[in-house]
Amino acid sequence: MSTVATRNSSLQSRAGGVPSSQRKPYKCSKCERAFNTLAKLERHGRRAHAGERRHSCSGCQQSFADPAELSTHQRHAHGIHRPHKCPLCAKTFALLSSLRVHKRTHVGGQSFLPGSSLQPQQSKIPRGRDYKCLTCGKDFSKPYHLRRHQEVHLTALTHKCPDCGKCFRAKTHLYLHRLVHGTKHKCDRCNKMRFLFKLRAAGECRLLTVNSRNSSSAAEAVSTLAFVPASAPLDTTELEDLQDFVSRSKRLFVITGAGVSTESGIPDYRSEGVGLYARTERRPIQHTDFLKSAKARQRYWARNFVGWPQFSSHHPNRAHVALSNWERLGKLHWLVTQNVDALHSKAGHQRVTELHGCAHRVVCLGCGALTARSELQHRFTSLNPCWSQEAGGVAPDGDVFLTDEQVQHFRVPGCEGCGAVLKPDVTFFGDTVDRDKVRHVHERLAEADALLVAGSSLQVYSGYRFLLAAHEKKLPIAIVNIGLTRAEHMAWVRLGARCGEVLPCILPLSQ
């Protein structure tokens, strides 16, 4: 009952049951107005009864004792002090919050009534072009495009075409233009008519010779596209951006991932529909399982023995060959690959770090001796002479499914020197990359002036760490990968296409 009485008393007080003299005990001695706090009474005295009104309006003859009253008067009576202007309709507002509320009435240049549905109209909002050239007023959606455009106002037309006399600001643009003056030849792969370079200088002929020498091997390298995820058609504007990006770099640092090798018939893990995670429920072996479980090692080596001939037979594709050409021509300063397939080495790379190791080598966990994986294959064969006939079929990527009955009879040799456990010289899931190797890569990155990511989603931190370091150094970054990556916000240039489709189109030239 006491609770109900208290609640009723409170309601009566709010409804006016308490006398006004009790609700507003502070009374003005000059005008009989009453206030519920002393601060309000003092403010009333300053505004209404102060003898001096020092704050005068510049637009009329009125004066005010309080500057806040003057500001309110000027906004409502004269419309001044409205610094916040709407960029769509030029309407001005005194408060930034009022401008924000007003801008919601504009969607794609059209107005809507407050409370109406926004969903159908929001899809019409154009992408922002927030980067504006101060010289000519042209605006751009990416800072890289603005920087490239600003050179138009600073660079002279110094590169002249010897065939037609047309001049260009960049040597790269001249090279691309001279394709127009070349002779069309029929491509033996796609039957389309293509322009070949009509080159004269010795250095240019060297470039043509290198590209021509590898064109046939590159065509033979693409074994299958079965493991390549779907992608949008190649955007020529984005391709030009990447060409400009590569041409500006003199010491290019490249990071490659599984997306580079998918065109060689080796699937990646995460691609939708075609990756290993999408095609099978089997997962890569964990580092701790390999070390602790003899059965896990037996199963791993049995599958590896059956699938090795298929896996080791893969060849470099057009992307590997293109990057190898860049290295030979001095464009590529260093390459770091997250792959263990040795395809970069097969393509002829010398300046390369295999971040996660190489499946073509085997290391002894006891003495640390390294041996070739091909030699271990001979030892497997001698210890298991009839076992391969019992095993099941091999998938195109070298993977194989084995039953427990098949695995239990497989014999695994130890190190020939000390008899200890043998392990592929790769970084298994759950293991860490060697610190000396990471330090070496950071040193090479410190010498570079730009970074290109090819075929990697950068989901694994071992490779993503170098993007963070490059971004902190403010190095230009370009990404060629089908699907989103962890470094989208860092990219100056972004292409969502196949590496084997993009990289051979880029000429390793310098401006």
- pLDDT tens track for 193-209: 444 443 333 333 333 33
**Catalytically annotated residue among 145, 320, 356, 360:** 356
Binding-site positions for NAD(+) read 257-277, 338-341, 455-457, 481-483, 499
Q: 410 and 295 in one domain?
A: yes
Domain range for 245 is 199-266+314-356+427-511
Q: 259 and 222 in one domain?
A: yes
The answer to whether residues 84 and 93 touch, using CB atoms and an 8 Å cutoff, is yes
d(CA 37, CA 27): 10
The answer to whether residues 491 and 296 touch, using CB atoms and an 8 Å cutoff, is no
pLDDT value at residue 130? 74
The answer to whether residues 309 and 213 touch, using CB atoms and an 8 Å cutoff, is no
Q: 496 and 365 in one domain?
A: no
pTM: 0.59
Q: 347 and 259 in one domain?
A: yes
Catalytic site residue 78? no
Binding-site positions for Zn(2+) read 364, 367, 415, 418
Q: 431 and 420 in one domain?
A: no
Q: 302 and 386 in one domain?
A: yes
Q: 504 and 448 in one domain?
A: yes
Residue 241 located in a structural domain = yes
Residue 174 located in a structural domain = no
CATH number at residue 436: 3.40.50.1220
Backbone angles phi, psi at 219, to 5 degrees: -65, -35
d(CA 437, CA 354): 9
Q: 251 and 210 in one domain?
A: yes
User: What stretch of H or E contains 64?
Assistant: strand 63-64
| Domain termination residue (choose one: 401, 425, 449) | 425
Q: 418 and 298 in one domain?
A: yes
pLDDT value at residue 23? 74
Q: 374 and 346 in one domain?
A: no
pLDDT value at residue 199? 34
| Domain termination residue (choose one: 425, 448, 474) | 425
Residue 348 located in a structural domain = yes
Residue 412 located in a structural domain = yes
Q: 491 and 463 in one domain?
A: yes
pLDDT value at residue 476? 95
Give, as one character, the DSSP assignment of residue 220. H
Positions of the chain with pLDDT under 70 = 1-22, 50-53, 59, 75-81, 104-129, 154-155, 171-172, 175-176, 178-231, 269-282, 388-399, 509-511
Q: Give the pair of three-digit tokens for residue 70.
A: 């003057």
Binding-site positions read 257-277, 338-341, 364, 367, 415, 418, 455-457, 481-483, 499
| Domain termination residue (choose one: 425, 459, 475) | 425
Backbone angles phi, psi at 188, to 5 degrees: -80, -5
Q: Give the pair of three-digit tokens for residue 324.
A: 């190898």
Q: 447 and 306 in one domain?
A: no
Q: How many domains does the chain have?
A: 2
